């Protein structure tokens, strides 16, 4: 979700301060939700500012900096390695999904190997057969 611009915030607050229309009408005019207008005014009342709060952060990536470079070297050395093998070789205590996300950040894409074993399952019914139809054994 994108943060509303400071310009829009200023215009909404100014419209609410003029008290020429209700909060719901102001929200409709600026194409925002009435609850956002209420939150914006509450933020100004409590903190004195209606600027957007900074991003709260998040979990640190397991593969960053030196460990990310090591992972890249491992992939270049052995491009057909599985995620499990890359994780074991990296020496980082992480999950398979962390390896996958790191490879996404390194812009690696996975394709199926054309040299791999093909699926040996063939068509189950003859061409032109109706769905759900099958030959029943005759009862003599």
Domain of 29, in residue numbers: 6-47
Instruction: Please report whether residue 122 resides in a domain.
Output: no
Q: What gap in Å lies between CA 104 and CA 62, rounded to an integer?
A: 13
- Say yes or no: 12 and 41 in one domain: yes
CB atoms within 10 A of CB 91: 8
Residue 60: inside a domain: no
75 lies in some domain: yes
Q: For the chain, 140 residues long, give each residue's pLDDT as a single digit of tens.
A: 578 999 999 999 999 999 999 999 999 999 999 999 999 999 999 999 999 888 888 888 899 999 999 999 999 999 888 999 999 999 999 999 999 999 999 988 776 666 666 666 666 666 776 666 555 555 55
| Residue 18 lies inside a defined structural domain of this protein | yes
Q: Give domain status of residue 56, yes or no.
A: no
The answer to whether position 111 is within a domain reads no
Q: What is the pLDDT of residue 57?
A: 84
Residue 120 lies in a domain: no
Asked whether residue 28 is assigned to any structural domain, the reply reads yes
> What count of Cα atoms within 13 Å lies in the side-chain half-sphere of residue 10?
3
Q: Which residue has the tokens 């991003």?
A: 55
Whether 43 and 70 share a structural domain: no
How many independent structural domains does the chain possess? 2
pTM of the model: 0.46
């Amino acid at each position: 979700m994108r943060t509303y611009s400071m310009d829009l915030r200023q215009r909404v607050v100014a419209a609410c301060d003029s008290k020429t229309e209700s909060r719901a009408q102001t929200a409709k005019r600026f194409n925002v939700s009435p609850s956002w207008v209420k939150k914006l005014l509450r933020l100004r009342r409590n903190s004195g500012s209606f600027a957007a709060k900074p991003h709260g952060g998040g979990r640190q990536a397991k593969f960053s900096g030196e460990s990310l470079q090591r992972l890249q070297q491992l992939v270049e050395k052995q491009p057909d390695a599985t995620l499990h093998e890359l994780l074991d070789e990296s020496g980082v205590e992480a999950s398979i999904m962390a390896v996958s996300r790191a490879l996404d950040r390194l812009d690696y894409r996975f394709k199926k190997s054309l040299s791999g074993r093909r699926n040996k399952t063939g068509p189950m019914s003859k061409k032109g057969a109706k769905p759900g139809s099958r030959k029943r054994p005759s009862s003599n």
